[in-house]
Chain A
Amino acid sequence: MNDVHAPTHDHDPDHDHELGFWRKYVFSVDHKVIGIQYGITALVFLFTGFCLAMLMRWQLAYPGEPLPIIGGLFSEATMPNGVMLPEFYNSLGAMHGTIMVFLGIVPLAVGAFGNYVLPLQIGAPDMAFPKLNMASYWCFLAGGIVMLCSFLAPGGAANSGWTAYPPLADIATTGQTVWLIAMVFLITSSLLGSINFIVTTIQLRAEGLTFFRMPFFVWAQLVTAFLLLLAFPPLEAAAVLQLMDRLADTSFFLPSGLVVDGQPLEVAGGGSPLLWQHLFWFLAHPEVYVLILPAMGIVAEVIANNTRKPLFGYRGMVYATLFLGFMSFMVWAHHMFLTGMGTSISAFFQATTMIISIPSVIILSNLFISLWGGSIRFSIPMLFALGFLPMFGIGGLTGLPLGLTATDIPLHDTYYVIGHFHYVVAPGTIMALFAGIYFWYPKITGRHMNKTLGHIHFWGTLVCMNGIFFPMLIQGLNGVSRRLYDGGASYEFAEPVLYLNKIMSHSSWTLGLFQFFFIVNFFMSLRTGERAEENPWQATTLDWQTPTPPPHGNFTQTPVVHHGPYEYSHPDLKQGDYLPQNLELEA
């Protein structure tokens, strides 16, 4: 199909061919270009955030020792003679979290994959509001740059953690103000993006593409967009209140009688630090699903394609996703069991937390069962998708003890929590995102990524990630606090598990080295990769039924959808083992 590649169909000749370089590649309104911009920017930020973590790991493995070679590059205010100052360590921690979550994973999972793939999968020529889409990207970039600039603020970057708990954050150095301003940009950006995603999905679906014929990836993006739309505004409100506290000396989050450095703080008082936590987690729990749902969507696509059979229980997965999205607004206070919550309220949140684990288990089990009886192609994307399943499983299962107060109270402030949520987002989501990159790279660039380098990248990443995060669970169960600047060296009880710090740190640096195989592969394959055809993976969804790379306007003919998304190995097929969504089954 699609033999004619020249974009002839319903194109406005005034518009298409006269765009200069800037309008075409920089200030573009084409969802594919914006998706690529999001992707590249987010990957850079991901690597930046990872570098901050690697720096922290030096201090945790070798507390107080000067960092060799690159230690001398840092200023006196951060690492005098290569030895990290505690304030700088705090900044690194706060910025690592912020950058990874808000500037790395969400923009990559939603901004990049959502933007590039979603309109293609629903057969739309572009997003519903292309200019808004561009505004969303530039807002994001501005927020990211402001966020990075906070390192230059007097007193360094924000150092009150990525959760920015007051009263600490209220009285912190200027970096915190910059952090808040950057957050307002980022929230605005996701708001514009999420409106666009929802309208596009609802309004621009191709003819015949009913809701239950949409690929699971589109469902995941749709629910994610709703979470972003409705959960982010409370954080925006909280950020405004904290900005007021910091700039206009209000005391929304400052209780009466606060003493700082032995001096009573001169504010009106009467505020509530817990208010921030409520508002923050009202966002940040749905945010967890913003991080994981697009990843599940990518994995579902990759698994269906590489097992050559329909997803097991597609409808069940869709309902589970909807339920997950809904419930995620009712579990926020399980992050706050330690804040003096009584038994009845905590019982409520324990119950909702246990309930929300059910849909996640449904989705994960269905993905596992989808493997059963498939003739699996072990392509690079499939390896990453297969890696995702057990890794996210560990992440999810280690979360259960944290949802119950009896076990959460001793574990909450330990490395166990760090291990748990990193298993969800690092070996979990990031593996899925790599799967997505290897999977759609041929569509985007017209060339395959190198397989050998891909194998090295996958196995190295898998082993090293476990080398970093599994020891955290062990340390946590031994009671090592997650907020220690020296990694527990000054605590006698931590002695038996202290050796793990070195294992984790060396794993993290090795992980960094393995990422170079990805970076080299990414750029090298642009020129030397094996050429990809229109539909190199023999996939059924609409994103593969376009020329490679898709032209402006996406489709050479307006697609019409005839059946569900995963018609692989249909017994009535005369030839081949797959039936694209836009083709009818020949009787």
Chain B
Amino acid sequence: MQIPYTVETRPDTGLHNSKLGIWLFLASEVMLFGALFSSYILLRINSPDWPAGHEVLNVPIAAFNTVVLISSSITVLLAWGAVKFNEFKKFRLYLGLTILLAFVFMIAKAYEYNAKFSHGLYPSTDNFLGIYFTLTGLHGLHVVGGLVVMIYFWGPGSGMFHSEPKHFADRIEVAGIYWHFVDLVWIFLFPVLYLL
């Protein structure tokens, strides 16, 4: 039994199932991060002494990480293009680069966390650090989630490249949309936590 519109698009909506699914998922993610941003605002305006982010946190590392994530967004797009052009080697290369960049991001993050801990700065120190660790931690979990998916498509899942190229291109596109969202969240996290 085949589920309709898994690969081809439904005429009246112009979409295939996973495209709609990923956007619904992202809508709920918007609400998740929205609630946390909202909490951030509330805690901040009620706090008499909210620290300036750049005095506590490491701006250069975060700026570096921003560049890393933006770059990984472009490589995942190029990987999708490679599937479209039927160039398997390029696909492996670009997706591999994306995975590598995601690892670089997580390593920089780990370094940053470590530096905080070694200076005696913990989530419990104050609510600024609390929300910093919560927001970046949750974002980090999303990066890990994306990593798992991309490693699957790079390795065990890549057989589909040859057997069902169209379906595979859709999968890479959907995974890419998720990955861009993770990038997008970071685009807001960076100024909100580090610069303001």
Chain A contact residues, CB within 8 Å of chain B: 10-12, 15-16, 124-130, 191, 194-196, 198-199, 202-204, 229-234, 236-238, 240-241, 244, 248-252, 267-268, 270-272, 275, 278-279, 282, 552-553
Contact = CB atoms under 8 A, between A and B. Distances in A.
A279 B130 contact: no
Interface in B26-47: 27-29, 31-36, 38-39, 42-43, 46-47
A252 B4 contact: no
Contacts of A126: 1, 3
Contacts of A124: 4
B33 to A, nearest CB: 8
B118 interface: no
A16 B10 CA distance: 25
Given A240-B138, A248-B130, A250-B134, A270 B17 contact: no
Contacts of A234: 31-32, 34-35
A268 B43 CA distance: 13
B24 interface: yes
A248 B122 CA distance: 8
A236 B3 contact: no
Contacts of A238: 35
B2 interface: yes
A10 B4 CA distance: 11
B163 interface: no
B1 A11 contact: yes
26 contacts: A10-B1, A12-B2, A15-B1, A16-B1, A125-B3, A129-B17, A191-B28, A195-B21, A195-B25, A195-B28, A196-B21, A199-B24, A233-B34, A234-B31, A238-B35, A248-B122, A248-B123, A248-B124, A251-B124, A252-B131, A270-B43, A270-B127, A272-B42, A279-B35, A279-B39, A553-B1
B39 A270 contact: no
B149 to A, nearest CB: 14
A110 B171 CA distance: 28
B32 A233 contact: yes
B5 interface: yes
Contacts of A552: 1
Given A233-B28, A234-B32, A272-B42, A130 B3 contact: yes
B15 interface: yes
Contacts of B52: none
B interface, over-half SS: helix
Given A12-B1, A125-B1, A250 B130 contact: yes
B28 A203 contact: no
A130 B123 CA distance: 40
B20 interface: yes
Interface residues of B, number: 41
Given A195-B24, A250-B127, A279-B35, A244 B134 contact: yes
Contacts, number: 137
Contacts of A268: 124-127, 130
A252 B124 contact: no
B17 A267 contact: no
Contacts of A553: 1
A194 B31 CA distance: 14
Contacts of A130: 3
A310 B25 CA distance: 36
Contacts of B24: 194-195, 198-199, 229
Nearest to A196: B21
A230 B3 contact: no
Contacts of B33: 237
B35 A282 contact: yes
B13 A275 contact: no
Interface string B89-127: 000000000000000000000000000000000111111
B122 A233 contact: no
B123 A270 contact: no
Nearest to B42: A275
Contacts of A237: 32-33, 35-36, 39
Given A125-B3, A270-B43, A229 B127 contact: no
A233 B29 CA distance: 7
B193 to A, nearest CB: 15
- Select the residue from B39, B122, B126 with max chain A CB neighbours within 10 A: B39
B5 A204 contact: yes
A232 B25 CA distance: 12
A125 to B, nearest CB: 6
B133 interface: yes
A286 to B, nearest CB: 11
B60 to A, nearest CB: 26
Contacts of A252: 39, 43, 127, 130-131
Interface in B120-160: 122-127, 130-131, 133-134, 138
Contacts of B31: 230-231, 233-234
A248 B43 CA distance: 17
A234 B34 CA distance: 8
Given A203-B4, A268-B130, A270-B126, 4 more contacts: A194-B28, A198-B24, A241-B134, A282-B35
Contacts of A233: 28-29, 31-32, 34-35
B134 A240 contact: yes
A244 B28 contact: no
Contacts of A232: 28
In the A-B complex, the 4 residue pairs with the closest CB atoms: A250-B130, A237-B35, A249-B124, A233-B32
Contacts of A270: 43, 46-47, 126-127
B121 to A, nearest CB: 12
A202 B42 contact: no
A275 B28 CA distance: 20
Given A128-B21, A248-B130, A271-B43, A10 B2 contact: yes
B26 to A, nearest CB: 10
Contacts of A198: 20, 24
B43 A275 contact: yes
A278 B42 CA distance: 11
B27 A272 contact: no
Contacts of A231: 31
A202 B43 CA distance: 39
A248 B133 contact: yes
B47 A267 contact: no
Nearest to A30: B1
Contacts of B3: 125-130, 204
B39 to A, nearest CB: 6
Contacts of A125: 1-4
A279 B123 CA distance: 21
A507 to B, nearest CB: 40
Given A125-B1, A128-B3, A203-B5, A250 B124 contact: yes
A267 B21 CA distance: 42
A131 to B, nearest CB: 10
A279 B40 CA distance: 12
